[in-house]
Structure 1
Amino acid sequence: MRYCRRCLYPENHPLNLVLDHQGICSGCRVHEEKDLLDWGARFEELKRLVHRFKSRSGKSYDCIVPVSGARDSWFMVHVVKNVLGLKPLLVYYNGHYNTELATRNLAYMRQAFDCDLTGLNVSAETVKAVTRASIKHLGSIYWHVLAGQTVWPVRAAVQYRVPLIIWGAHQGIDQVGMFSHLQKVEMTRKYRKDHDLMGAEIEDLVAKYPELRNYNTRPFAYPDDEELEAIGVRGIYLNNFLRWDSKSQNELMIKLFSYETAEQKRTFDTYSDTDSYHYSGLHDLIKFRKLGYGKVTDHACREIRLRRMTRQQGLEMVRNYQCDDIPHDTSVFCEWLGMPQEELLAHVDRHRDPKAWEHDGQKWQLKSSVLDTDIEPDAQLGLLEEWSDFVKTGARKPDSIPDKHVLIGKGYVDGFGPEGPVASTQLPDSCFGSHLPSVSALEDLL
């Protein structure tokens, strides 16, 4: 197995990361653009683009913004409403693995930005049936979440006749460099299927597992082309117009709106996936057992590329957090799904990547790990800032002890109303990168 000489990613990344002749991965190469593009000019371009979608009457929604209450949701809504001056409809898919913190953050977000919020709550029995199928077919407990999160905003755009969807970061750009920021790629059905959904649409699962025909699986199906064309649905990504930096963005949201964070299992990142009871637990174990690396590698690579962490520091993070232990939330998930733990893990074993794993007749052995590589640090870029720990804010409900899934929380937060934090209409300098060379400098390099 080969590993990037700058970050920590292996060549078996599921989104088809590519190593060049210098041993630098495509994700690192595209991240170099963040230090070269004129982000101020790009943001002005974004302003001009979205202005064409503003409602003339001011009574209709200007755009759809997909949210979860975690990750970059708060920052996205802040940019769309408070900076761009749009009237968004916030749209979320209920992932069924919610924490109490997730429901609080979603409620606080709606209150803080005073936006309408609509959600898709699929029947629990349907979600369980689809999840059983996705575990067998793909070794994934998260397929239904990915499918729901990427289709419900599109369905909402058709239903409410709002053509513009504003997404956050395009993973194919920000993680593996599948595209350049210069291409300004937009949302497509093909990318969703091939990469977000690991090559399987709901129709594929139904065809292979006929028992799914007993359930209403249409909520996971992408709208027909005719429906999309009738509305002119278009999905753009903010990271094509802003220097995307999740850590800085979330820390701005903590400062402005008291975004709530929490310590996560198996990683140092306390911001990204606090909405899910399983994302950094069982889901991360499955990722590790399939690919040979976990979420801490994703998070360390991001910090290395943003030049806050050295490669050696990233390796230490992986060494401290990555493990093959079965997390405690596994029993909660198996009880919810009605699938024995042994059966679940046996399905996952069938999807282990042979580039990363081998079976010696008794147990699985990791063939290759980034921790065992000996790579000279000459490919490392200089740090732009010193590393600082991720903030743990503490719970707004101190007696909260998550021990089960929270399907739906109450739609308001006590004591939080118009007198709450006032949003700033200024973005941090790091988003614009005004000190960086212009886009023409990058074009010269290309």
Structure 2
Amino acid sequence: MNYCRRCLYPENHPLNIVLDEKGICSGCRVHEEKAIIDWEPRKEKLGRIFDSYRSTSGKSYDCIIPVSGARDSYFIVHTVKNVYGMNPLLVTYNKHYNTDLGIRNLANLRIVFDCDIMTLTVNPETVKKITRATIRKAGSIYWHCLAGQTVYPVQVAVKFKIPLIIWGAHQGIDQVGMFSHLDEVEMTRKYRKEHDLMGIEADDLINEFDNIIEQDVIQFRYPDDKEIERIGVRGIYLNNYMRWDTKAQHEQMLGLYNYETAPQTGTFDRYNDVDCFNYSDVHDYIKYVKHGYGKITDHASREIRFGRISRDEGVELVKEYGITQPRNLPQFLEWIGITENSFHYLIDQHRNKKIWHRNEKWDWERIDGTQLRKETPDSFAIACTDKGLDFRITVPKKKSPDNKYILIGKGYVQSENL
């Protein structure tokens, strides 16, 4: 297995990363643009785009922003509303795996920005049926989250005739360098299907075996192209117009809006995905089984590119945080209603056989030659100008009573004394 000689990504990255003749990946090469692009003209261009969609009456929504109780939601809403003066409608897909902290962060976001928000909550039994099907077909417990998060904003845009959708970072740019920032790529149905949804559209799940009928997948259907063209729906990504650094952005927003952070199972990152029990846990374990690496590789590679840690330090972090067994698997199995043996049997069908093999004890182990190693040539390394990882841990506003998923939570933030 070949790995990037600068960051930690392997050549089998599911978003088709490319290693050049020097062994540097396309993600690292496109990241170099962040240091050489003049971002001020691009911010001005973003302002002109916003102006072209701004309501002349001031009584209508100017745009739609997909949000959650984590990731870069606070930064995106702050930028769009407080910096550029737009009037956004917030939309969120209920992922069902919600943490209490995530529910509070989402409520706090709505309140501090004084925004209207629309939420899509699909029938839990329907979500469970779909998840059982996507585990079997694609080894994914997160298909319904990715499908819902990427389709609900488009459905709302068509229904309420609000053509502009604002996203944060395009994963294909920021992670693997599939495009340049200068390409200004926008949201597409094709990218959503091929990469977000692993090639599976909602209608592909309809079958008798999983007892999924047409009514079950309606909420996950992408609007018809004619509807999208009639409204003129487009989705733009902020990272095409400003230098994207999620860690720095979170730390700026934490000082302004007092939302919560928390430790996670498989990474040192305390800011992203704290709203979900499974993203950096069960979902991450599955990612490791399928591709041989997890979120810790994503996060360490990001920090290497920004020069906050060295590659060798990143390798040590991968060893430290690498998932062997997910901590939150029992509650997921209880929620979906399958046994642990059944879960592992289904997930093992999707193991990458170029990475894993059965040993003499019939246990899965890595094939020699697929392990990540140190020894980066100095000529490929990025100088550490901001050495170390200091992620802020906030004091919880409320102690969660248990580890149960929260389907519906309060729409307001309780006093810290209650």
| Structure 1 residues not aligned, in runs of 5+ | 417-446
Give the superposition deviation at 1:237: 0.1
Residue matched to 1:307? 307
When normalised by structure 2's length, the TM-score is 0.96
**Moved runs in structure 1, 4+ residues, more than 4 A?**
207-210
Give the superposition deviation at 1:384: 3.3
Residue matched to 1:86? 86
Paired residue type of 1:379:
F
Residue matched to 2:396? 395
SS at match of 1:52: helix
Cα distance in 2 between the residues matched to 1:412 and 1:243? 33
Residue matched to 1:381? 382
Residue matched to 1:346? 345
Q: Does residue 285 of structure 1 match 2:268?
A: no
SS at match of 1:157: helix
Whether the 8 Å contact between 2:98 and 2:276 is mirrored in structure 1 is: yes
Residue matched to 1:41? 41
Residue matched to 2:96? 96
Cα distance in 1 between the residues matched to 2:408 and 2:125? 16
Residue matched to 1:8? 8
Q: Does residue 407 of structure 1 match 2:410?
A: no
Paired residue type of 2:377:
E
Q: Does residue 148 of structure 1 match 2:148?
A: yes
Residue by residue over 1:50-105, the C-alpha shift from the partner in whole angstroms, topping out at 9 and shown as x without a partner, is: 10000010000000000012000010000000001000000000000000001000
**CA 1:214 to 1:49, structure 2 compared with 1: closer, same or farther past 3 Å?**
closer
When normalised by structure 1's length, the TM-score is 0.90
**CA 1:69 to 1:323, structure 2 compared with 1: closer, same or farther past 3 Å?**
closer
Cα distance in 2 between the residues matched to 1:369 and 1:100? 38
Q: Which has the higher contact order (CA 8 A, sep 6+)?
A: 1
Cα distance in 1 between the residues matched to 2:90 and 2:24? 38
Residue matched to 1:175? 175
SS at match of 1:217: helix
Residue matched to 1:228? 228
Residue matched to 1:29? 29
Residue matched to 1:269? 269
Please report the RMSD computed on the Cα atoms of aligned residues, expressed in angstroms: 1.5
Alignment of 1:190-339 (within 5 A): 190-206=190-206, 209=209, 211-213=211-213, 215-324=215-324, 326-339=325-338
Residue matched to 1:434? none
Cα distance in 2 between the residues matched to 1:295 and 1:60? 39
SS at match of 1:159: helix
Give the superposition deviation at 1:375: 3.6
Give the superposition deviation at 1:280: 1.3
- Kindly tell me the number of residue pairs found equivalent between the two proteins: 414
Whether the 8 Å contact between 1:8 and 1:297 is mirrored in structure 2 is: yes
Whether the 8 Å contact between 1:5 and 1:377 is mirrored in structure 2 is: no
Paired residue type of 2:383:
G
Whether the 8 Å contact between 1:10 and 1:370 is mirrored in structure 2 is: no
Whether the 8 Å contact between 2:65 and 2:165 is mirrored in structure 1 is: yes
Cα distance in 1 between the residues matched to 2:304 and 2:354? 25
Give the superposition deviation at 1:346: 1.0
Paired residue type of 1:197:
L
Paired residue type of 2:387:
E
Whether the 8 Å contact between 1:311 and 1:377 is mirrored in structure 2 is: no
Residue by residue over 1:367-415, the C-alpha shift from the partner in whole angstroms, topping out at 9 and shown as x without a partner, is: 2444345442420122232223211112111x22441100111111135
| Structure 2 residues not aligned, in runs of 5+ | none
Whether the 8 Å contact between 2:311 and 2:374 is mirrored in structure 1 is: no
Cα distance in 1 between the residues matched to 2:36 and 2:373? 33
Whether the 8 Å contact between 2:296 and 2:317 is mirrored in structure 1 is: yes
Q: Which sits farther off after the overlay, 40-49 or 206-215?
A: 206-215
**CA 1:251 to 1:198, structure 2 compared with 1: closer, same or farther past 3 Å?**
same
Alignment of 1:50-61 (within 5 A): 50-61=50-61
SS at match of 2:90: strand
Give the superposition deviation at 1:354: 2.1
Cα distance in 2 between the residues matched to 1:319 and 1:289? 15
Cα distance in 2 between the residues matched to 1:19 and 1:402? 45
Paired residue type of 1:376:
P
Whether the 8 Å contact between 2:312 and 2:375 is mirrored in structure 1 is: no
Cα distance in 2 between the residues matched to 1:402 and 1:242? 40
Cα distance in 2 between the residues matched to 1:401 and 1:318? 31
Paired residue type of 2:390:
D
Question: % of aligned pairs identical?
Answer: 56
SS at match of 1:216: helix
Give the superposition deviation at 1:221: 0.8
Give the superposition deviation at 1:210: 5.9
Paired residue type of 2:127:
V
Residue by residue over 1:227-274, the C-alpha shift from the partner in whole angstroms, topping out at 9 and shown as x without a partner, is: 101110010000000101000011111101112100111110000000
Residue by residue over 1:153-173, the C-alpha shift from the partner in whole angstroms, topping out at 9 and shown as x without a partner, is: 000101111000000000000
SS at match of 2:213: helix
